[in-house]
């Protein structure tokens, strides 16, 4: 994912990746979510995980929670907020959301930056 960006994979694939991380957490494995600054892309993944783990009931709560406990800058772009909303709707059983995620409202252009990584540790 580029700086300020969102996953570009099919939503089924992204949801599967989030589910894999959630399964690790549920099995007691510590998981580190990391990007260059630790607030945009990492917070996007964390927000999706918090909803999937049913710690946060919806996108607004998840983003507000992360902005309180992590950083006021958590989830940096409207595009990232839109993705979290789309992920929530996907998991609520709305019609299968296929294809690439490409919101346009309020999106900031991506810069050519680092690719985020998700690492697990014990």
56 a catalytic residue: no
**Whole-structure pTM value:** 0.75
Which candidate in 1, 6, 11, 35 is catalytic? 35
> Angle of helix 41-52 relative to helix 11-26, nearest 10 degrees?
70
Per-residue model confidence as pLDDT tens digits over 62-116 = 999 999 999 999 999 999 999 999 999 998 887 655 444 444 433 333 322 222 2
Q: Is 2 exposed, middle or buried (0-12, 13-18, 19+ CB in 10 A)?
A: middle
Q: Dig out the tokens for 36 from the structure.
A: 């260059």
pLDDT of residue 97: 53
10-14, 20-24, 92-96: range with lowest mean pLDDT:
92-96
Under CATH, what is the fold of the domain 11-108?
3.90.190
Look up tokens 């927000």; give the residue: 47
Domain-by-domain residue ranges, the chain? 11-108
Contact between residue 103 and residue 14 where contact means Cβ atoms under 8 Å apart = no
Per-residue confidence (pLDDT) for residue 75, from 0 to 100: 94
């Amino acid at each position: 994912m580029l700086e300020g960006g969102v996953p570009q994979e099919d939503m089924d694939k992204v949801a599967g990746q989030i589910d894999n991380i959630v399964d690790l957490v549920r099995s007691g494995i510590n998981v580190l979510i990391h990007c260059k600054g630790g607030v945009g892309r990492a917070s996007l993944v964390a927000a999706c995980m918090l909803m999937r783990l049913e710690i946060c009931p919806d996108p607004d709560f998840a983003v507000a929670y992360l902005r309180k406990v992590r950083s006021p800058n958590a989830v940096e772009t409207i595009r990232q907020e839109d993705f979290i909303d789309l992920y929530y709707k996907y998991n609520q059983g709305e019609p299968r959301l296929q294809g690439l995620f490409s919101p346009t409202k309020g999106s900031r252009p991506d810069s050519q930056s680092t690719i985020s990584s998700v690492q697990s540790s014990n």
